[in-house]
Each structure stands twice: as C-alpha cells, then as structure tokens.
Amino acid sequence: MSSNSSKPGPKKEVIAIACDHAGYQLKTEVVKQLHELGVQVEDLGCSNAHESVHYPEFGKKVVDKVLSRPHGRGILICGTGLGMSIIANRFPGIRAALCHDVSTAVMSRRHNDANLLVLGGRLIGPQLAREIVQAWLTTPFDGGRHQDRLDLLEQLAGPRPETNR
C-alpha cells in the first residue's frame, strides 16, 4: 500500500469533496481554490447552507469515491470537522485528518499519508483553509517507517469490504 508524491494536477487527480450545511460556505471557497489550481473536482454536495442535512450521508459519498480510485483523495467539511472525521475513519483504507493549521496538514501527509482532509467550516476562515488545502495537496508521503505503521494500521483494522469499483 505504498503511495507516491501527491501533487495536484488537472488530468491526474480528482478530488471528491462534500460538506453539510455548516460547511457549505467554506466548501465553495475550497472548490474555487481547487479550480484555480487546475485540480478536477467532484462535488458531492450539499448544495446550500440553508437546508439542514445529515453529515454522515455526505461523508460516505466521499469515502466511497476515495476508496474507488487508486491513490484517491477527498475533502470533507462540516461545522467542526469532528462529525465528518468520525464517519470517514470508520472505513478501512480511509485515513481522514482533521486539520486546523498548516502544520497538521503537512504532518497528516508526511507521516500518515492522509487521503481525506477534514475541515471545520465554523472554526477556520477561508484564508487559513486555502493554506491548509495547498499544504495538504502538495506534501508528499515520507514512506519508510511510516509505511510500516500504515500497513500495521490496515492489518489491525481487518479486511476492506469490496466496493463497486
């Protein structure tokens, strides 16, 4: 389960993204940034900030997309990021990292090969979110002893259920 450097690119990588109502405003900013960077975006909802929705449904949509693609990655946003982190990390193969600063975004990639970035739309502003997303997109996985730990994590989690690929 090794991973290569994950630099964004318009033809190589598609980022699946979703949010609940509390994360909608920040999601619009992140989608805009991804487009500016030339990254393909698959926006899986929600579609507005006014209608209350259930975050687990949107989190699962992104989880399914990430698991269906080799080296798939995604971004989830809710009010605090906690709910989306909980739903995402229930699934073997997902390494969701709730990041509130650039340092945790960098380390989530370097040491944990995080394949899902989670943001708290009510906790961080758009400029900090842009910096976190940029760092997360461009920071490669260090591999080595960190890969050994990820392999152990997958082993302890048990077999991954088959998804529609």
Q: Which residues are catalytic?
A: 78, 111
C-alpha distance from residue 31 to each of 3, 34, 53, 141 (Å): 24, 5, 20, 23
